[in-house]
Amino acid sequence: MAALKGSEIAEHNDAKSCWVIVHGKAYDVTEFLPEHPGGQKIILKYAGKDCTEEFEPIHPPDTLDKFLDKSKHLGPVDMGTVEQEVKEEDPEEAERLERVAQKPLLSQCYNLHDFEAVARRTMKKTAWGYYSSAADDEITMRENHNAYQRIWFRPRVLVDVENVDISTTMLGSKSSVPFYVTATALGKLGDPEGEVVLTRAAHKHGVIQMIPTLASCSFDEICDARQGEQIQWLQLYVNKDRKITQRIVQYAEERGCKALFITVDAPQLGRREKDMRSKFTDPGTNVQEGQETDNSQGAARAISSFIDPSLSWKDIPWFQSITKMPIIIKGVQRVEDVIKAVEAGCQGVVLSNHGGRQLEFARSGIEILAETMPVLRELGLQDKIEIYIDGGVRRATDVLKAICLGAKGVGIGRPFLYAMSAYGQPGVERAMQLLKDEMEMNMRLLGCNKIEELNSSLLDTRALFTHTSTPPDQLFGSVYEPLATPAQRPK
């Protein structure tokens, strides 16, 4: 088949006939337009043109093969005949590339915060907006980290701590550390290779990886990047179409995933204004409901309209009927639901508020953990379920506090994304190594040799439940005009 010319593609540039180019091939997406979860307008913006750059970070490479009928695959394009968009000089992009060129050496990153600082200065605005944003005033996101600072240690001394072992097991799998790479979507916003960068670094450090439903890489790419006995879990957003969900779950089990984490705190994705501001997509029509929704809600809204808000506890038996993988409920935020998860026969929960990206003023994972464990012990249920937490973990002391309070393991999201975005795979490996070094040192200073020795007697949590200071309400503080002096007060 002779290659199509750019001029032929360019003639199909509206809703009546819409052809696009992706990776040097042409596709007729006219009939697909109303089904696109991200709305029609973002596709029409590229009608008749090459949309590879926009397509890449959001869609796994097998998307078109999976979701566009073969008859709409028009074949190769002679890219020499395609009029390339003349990118006018973008001063902002030039400045960003300057900052990339001047970024600190990787060896000058000493903790997870350093990666965030570099990522903030060097990432594209859209990518930073998506990774860093949280819901509303981002107070829960800051509380996630602040809550750890209301917990103090009661270390033991004169304990022989020459040999320290920070390894553990999670859901029956060995792990070199009691933390894992949690599910975070759209890895290619941070690195052109996307989630497989996290896979390779996780393998190097014996860290378990949770594969996100909304990965930029295809599921197979991430599984194929797994090496040796490396452990991967699947994070699932449940699709309104249960046949699609069943196919995803059973294929994940076939590909060797060792656990299924069902995300339940996002019946609708939160309102993340930094992400919205970066205008990830043009306003479009939300085809799922057939109504006009403002798709300039950023990446989050553009990629999540398939999620089923009707999901409920009554669906758990169905999941147990379609898979043998342990089932963990991710996004539990009160002890009553932990007990429901035990009663439903789930193997675990993640106490999490989605990194503050969902319900603003949800409590931190660590505070929910401190509420949960005493109740489970009172009911004799503490060994019936594995408790994980995530959110705001930036130091090994955070991990140790969680384990002392009864968590089996801790999920870490943004820090590994920032390390990847700033320094690629070497960045993620250094972030993991820094955490391991901190773990070992702090175990020694706590007077413990092994993870099993960590317990709540090593902590003073009296302040944890008293929210004496809410994290600063930055937006309000920066826009509200406090009447500074009596003279300025209205008479």
Residues with a known catalytic role: 237, 265, 354
Report the residue number, 332 or 404, with the smaller CB distance to ligand FNS.
332
Which two structure tokens, joined as six digits, stand for 377?
Answer: 């012990």
Helix (H, G, I), strand (E, B) or coil at 450: strand
DSSP code per residue over 216-244 = SS-HHHHHHT--TT--EEEEEPPBSSHHH
Report the residue number, 47 or 402, with the smaller CB distance to ligand FNS.
402
* CA dist., res. 179 & res. 369, Å (int): 16
Q: How far is the CB of 358 from ligand FNS (least distance, A)?
A: 8
Q: How far is the CB of 13 from ligand FNS (least distance, A)?
A: 31
Q: Which residue's Cβ has the minimum distance to ligand FNS?
A: 413
Q: How far is the CB of 405 from ligand FNS (least distance, A)?
A: 17
DSSP code per residue over 331-400 = EE-SHHHHHHHHHTT-SEEEE--GGGTSSTTPPPHHHHHHHHHHHHHHTT-TTSSEEEEESS--SHHHHH
Q: Which residue has the tokens 């029509």?
A: 285
* CA dist., res. 68 & res. 4, Å (int): 19
Report the residue number, 29 or 127, with the smaller CB distance to ligand FNS.
127
Report the residue number, 9 or 393, with the smaller CB distance to ligand FNS.
393
* CA dist., res. 205 & res. 195, Å (int): 16
* CA dist., res. 302 & res. 39, Å (int): 7
Q: How far is the CB of 393 from ligand FNS (least distance, A)?
A: 6
State the alpha helices, DSSP H only, in 379-484: 396-404, 414-446, 474-479
Neighbour tally for 101: CB within 10 Å: 8
Report the residue number, 414 or 430, with the smaller CB distance to ligand FNS.
414
Q: How far is the CB of 162 from ligand FNS (least distance, A)?
A: 32
Report the residue number, 406 or 413, with the smaller CB distance to ligand FNS.
413
Task: Write the CB contacts of 342 (distance below 8 Å, at least 6 apart in sequence).
Answer: 376, 381, 384, 385
Q: How far is the CB of 56 from ligand FNS (least distance, A)?
A: 17
Report the residue number, 55 or 237, with the smaller CB distance to ligand FNS.
237
Q: How far is the CB of 338 from ligand FNS (least distance, A)?
A: 16
Angle CA(146)–CA(149)–CA(153) in degrees, nearest 5?
155
Start-to-end CA span in the chain (Å): 82
Helix (H, G, I), strand (E, B) or coil at 329: strand
Q: How far is the CB of 41 from ligand FNS (least distance, A)?
A: 21
Residues at the interface with ligand FNS (CB under 6 A): 130-131, 144, 182-185, 212, 214, 235, 263, 300, 330, 352, 354-355, 357, 390-393, 411-414
Report the residue number, 19 or 131, with the smaller CB distance to ligand FNS.
131
Report the residue number, 50 or 116, with the smaller CB distance to ligand FNS.
116
Q: How far is the CB of 348 from ligand FNS (least distance, A)?
A: 14
* CA dist., res. 70 & res. 363, Å (int): 48
* CA dist., res. 425 & res. 224, Å (int): 17
Helix (H, G, I), strand (E, B) or coil at 114: helix
Task: Write the CB contacts of 13 (distance below 8 Å, at least 6 apart in sequence).
Answer: 19, 47, 48, 49
- Which of 454, 328, 432 minimizes the C-alpha distance to 388? 328
DSSP code per residue over 153-193 = E----S---SS-B--EEETTEEESSSEEE---S-GGGT-TT
